[in-house]
Structure 1
Amino acid sequence: MAAAQGRFSDGADGMDSAKEASVPLPFRRAVGGLQKARLRPGIEIEATRPPQRLAPYAYALEAAVVEGEEDLADGRLILLHDPAGHEAWQGAFRLVTLVRAELEPEMAADPLLPEVCWSWLTGALEARGLGYGEASGTVTMASSHSFGGLSARRPATQIEIRASWTPREGVGGVPDTASHLAAWCELLCQVAGLEPLPPSDPGVVSLPQRRGPHHP
């Protein structure tokens, strides 16, 4: 199924409706930036219910890099906001992510792959001139080998990136969430094995809708 262009799925705004009336303006603007982001083709994305206990306010997106009917990589990005600020974040906003993909054998054999994957995230942020701080995370690789009745399956290696960082706040205390989302999607594409696009590439398109439920 083709992705619908430029809108989220019905009823999946990713915000707690009970809090919506009292949501701080900086957080509403930060969420608006995510919803208006321009992304490259091949990414299907939608809002999903965010975790409830990480911060007073949270908004979550899940996405996949799609080629035909195959998901090459998938992940979740969560925007957290604490109006009072958070000592560990060194700011009032925090971005938290999980990215996963199955690797080609050539990539899986590279002993420097964890360092390379981390550099894809920081490089995507820096290529857009995005200020950030307190970045942290882990890169995990897991291999599986099948035996017996499943021995025909080829060995597979999955990579999982968990990371978080504090986006620099701009005018009105609001970070440039649209650009942070674009950088994160570039990480997804690189983990999926796609060539990176320059930030100013004219081929980017408005935020599409994922084709169906998906949970990283």
Structure 2
Amino acid sequence: MAAAQGRFSDGADGSDGADGDPVPPAFQRAVDALQSARLRPEVEIDPTKPPKRLAPHAYALEAAVVQDDLDLADGRLVLLHDPAGHEAWQGTFRLVTLVRAELEPEMAADPLLPEVCWSWLTGALEARGLSYGEASGTVTRAGSHYFGGLSERRPATQIEIRASWTPREGMGGVPDAASHLASWCDLLCQIGGLPPAGPMDTGVVSLPQRRGPQTL
């Protein structure tokens, strides 16, 4: 399993921040946990530029589920931290994600697909016993039909989950960031059509395997 990687926002790499403030120890510990997390071998993690305006401190990862040289799903996970707390978050940390994959036609036609995909997100967190709050997001199903020079391509449907939640803070005000990353990777693999790994097998059916998007 590969260790996670990522990139700090400006001033969040252990040096003083943009306003001269050092990185909060709680945020540093959470990032250290993300960087040391061991993930499923199908998940490839790369650094990505984090947002600058959502919170004073941010750390971002992007990932793809790859099997047999096929990209089955991809996504982005951002850890936000505001030491002063955020009323909407009901905490000082927030996780924000985008996950997407291409669907097989029979799955795309399921009217309950958005509800099922949202339940995969909450189920992935609960399966690892994680406590969280203020979860919110959207599930979008988008179809593409091709014409003219592209008419030989079959219609394609993509599912996209955009979500955020507040990880409950433990000792020292630090959330279990590594476990939240692992649960997010469980979601990414599930939407990519892979079966649950080992003890995470809860009997939930994944999407059939298919070739998914190649870039974020």
TM-score interval w.r.t. the shorter chain? 0.7 to 0.9
Q: CA deviation at 1:162?
A: 0.2
Counterpart pick for 2:8 among 3, 12, 15:
15
SS at 1:62's partner residue?
strand
1:197 CA displacement: 2.4
1:112 corresponds to: 112
Is 1:47 aligned to 2:40, yes or no?
no
8 A Cα contact 2:3 2:37, kept in partner: no
Amino acid at match of 1:18: G
Partners of 1:106 and 1:66 lie apart in 2 by 22
* Unpaired stretches in structure 1, ≥5 consecutive residues: 202-213
Contact 2:98 2:162 in 1 (8 A): yes
Q: Say if 2:186 and 2:196, in contact at 8 Å, map to a contact too.
A: yes
Contact 1:62 1:215 in 2 (8 A): no
Matched, 1:146 2:146: yes
SS in 2 for 1:38: coil
Contact (CA 8 Å) 2:100, 2:159: kept in 1 or not? yes
Q: How far does residue 17 in structure 1 lie from its aligned partner after superposition?
A: 5.4
Moved over 6 A (4+): none
1:127·1:199 contact (CA, 8 Å) conserved in 2?
no
Q: Render the CA deviation track for 1:168-199: whole Å, top value 9, x for unaligned.
A: 00010000010000110111111111112255
Partner of 2:135: 135
What is the aligned-residue identity percentage? 74
Supply the distance in 2 between the matched residues of 1:36 and 1:200 (Cα, whole angstroms). Answer: 20
* Structure 2 CA distance for aligned equivalents of residues 118 and 102 of structure 1: 16
In structure 1, give the amino acid aligned to 2:165. Answer: W
Aligned letter for 2:162? R
The TM-score with structure 1 as length reference comes to 0.86
Give the RMSD, CA atoms, in angstroms: 1.8
Which residue in the other structure is 1:31 paired with?
Answer: 31
Relative distance call for 1:6 and 1:128 in structure 2 (3 A) is closer
2:68 and 2:154 map into 1 onto residues whose CA distance is 21
Cα 1:5–1:40, aligned 2, differ >3 Å: closer, same or farther? closer
Length-normalised TM-score, structure 2: 0.86
After superposition, the Cα gap between the structure-2 partners of 1:182 and 1:118, relative to the gap in structure 1 and judged at 3 Å, is: same
Match of 1:166 in 2: 166
**Superposed displacement of residue 165, structure 1:** 0.1
Alpha-carbon shift at residue 200 of structure 1 (Å): 6.0
Letter in 2 for 1:16: S
Structure 2's unaligned 5+ residue stretches are 16-21, 202-213
Kept in 1, the 8 Å contact 2:2–2:44? The answer is: no
Task: Report which structure shows greater RCO (CA 8 Å, sep ≥6).
Answer: 1
Q: For 1:27 and 1:127, locate their aligned partners in 2 and report how far apart those are by CA, in whole Å.
A: 25
